[in-house]
Structure 1
């Protein structure tokens, strides 16, 4: 079955995410956009994933719990998991390896925990934008310990991407999949060092108006998180 996806979305728990990116409003916007499969990937936390997944289910969407991990090298990685519990376990590991910095909401934005009905449950005080003490070469194995998949985010961007930091694609890191932005140029996709690398496109939406319309699809045998993760691992035809 052909399912339209966006696997890189932020909620109001990300300090750079708009305060109106509540789990409920984000899920509703994804449904209005015609998406089928979505993932919440806040910066260095899965704290709003449970609420988002419940709101997404209410809107008829298949939702994955995830995170946008910032590695030691300041490379952003998308990490997706089969269950909310697995994502939260991974999130606890990441929290232990974040520097002891406090968020400054007046500079970076608020970090709100919310339930699936838009009730504010609290505010995260730690700075979620900081780099975790987890190397890019470790991220994939750590996500796999929780049954998840990790791959480099928005590699076509000039900052916080694997290519902007390393200068070229490094096969020895073991990633066969990467994310590009919706406006990635055809020329970028044809880079010689990306030969054989599977590319998917997600929005990295930080506000409701940035949620991308249904354009990019995956062909799955069934609408389950297991099938999505198999597709991302390359166990299903791409």
Structure 2
């Protein structure tokens, strides 16, 4: 059966995320747009994921824990986890590679963490949208103990695309912002939404065929048992 997805959505934790990208707003908009699968993928952090996971229990669609990682080489990859516990274990590891760089919030924007009622409970102090001290080869090594899927992000973007590395480091698939560039089953078409209206609606380019609407089926689709 085919299921509509958007697997690249930024919350208010990302410095570039609009103030309306709170967990409840994201989930409500995804529901209004009749999506079946979503992932919140903030820059270099999964700290908003536990709240999103709790919210997902009140919705019929599948929520996949995710993150957008900027590796040392300067390009982005999307990482999805099968288990919430492993996602949060990885978040602790990821933070050790983040440069502790304070930043101008007027220029970059705030980095908010919300509770389940969308109340701001903390401001993350270090800029998340910056390359980690972690290269792609080392990232793959660090991820080995986890059940994960790793995708090259926005391959049709002029900056922060890993096009030059795909032969040396084959990952699980490619993401495109232009659906016409999709060539393989494992290619994704996502919104990379930073504003609530940009979250995708149901449409042919953002559908995936799974045997069941489950995280296990999603991982099987990408060749992971």
Answer whether TM exceeds 0.5 for this pair. yes
**What runs of 5+ residues in structure 1 fail to find an aligned partner?**
191-195
Q: Given the alignment, which residue of 193, 201, 213 partners 1:213?
A: 201
Q: Given the alignment, which residue of 170, 174, 178 partners 1:174?
A: 170
Deviation at 1:176, TM superposition (A): 4.2
TM-score (norm 1): 0.87
Q: How does 1:72-221 map to 2 (within 5 A)?
A: 72-163=72-163, 166=164, 170-181=166-177, 183-184=178-179, 186=180, 188-189=181-182, 198-215=186-203, 216-221=206-211
Structure 1 pair 30–213 and aligned structure 2 pair: CA distance change class (3 A): same
- C-alpha distance in 2 between matches for 1:89 and 1:48: 14
Deviation at 1:23, TM superposition (A): 0.5
Deviation at 1:220, TM superposition (A): 1.3
Deviations 1:57-105 (A, max 9, x none): 3132210111000000111000110122211111111110111201321
Deviation at 1:140, TM superposition (A): 3.3
Give the equivalent residue in structure 2 for 1:193: none
Contact 2:182 2:188 in 1 (8 A): no
Deviation at 1:189, TM superposition (A): 4.7
Runs (4 or more) in structure 1 with deviation over 3 Å come to none
Deviation at 1:223, TM superposition (A): 1.6
- C-alpha distance in 2 between matches for 1:211 and 1:144: 31
**What runs of 5+ residues in structure 2 fail to find an aligned partner?**
none
Structure 1 pair 72–197 and aligned structure 2 pair: CA distance change class (3 A): farther
- C-alpha distance in 1 between matches for 2:27 and 2:90: 23
Deviation at 1:175, TM superposition (A): 1.7
Give the equivalent residue in structure 2 for 1:25: 25
Deviation at 1:48, TM superposition (A): 0.5
CA RMSD, aligned part only?
Answer: 1.8
- C-alpha distance in 2 between matches for 1:13 and 1:21: 9
Contact 2:111 2:123 in 1 (8 A): yes
Give the equivalent residue in structure 1 for 2:212: 222
Deviations 1:145-199 (A, max 9, x none): 2211111101110111112xx2xx6323122411111x35x4x556xxxxx6831
- C-alpha distance in 2 between matches for 1:161 and 1:123: 28
TM-score (norm 2): 0.92
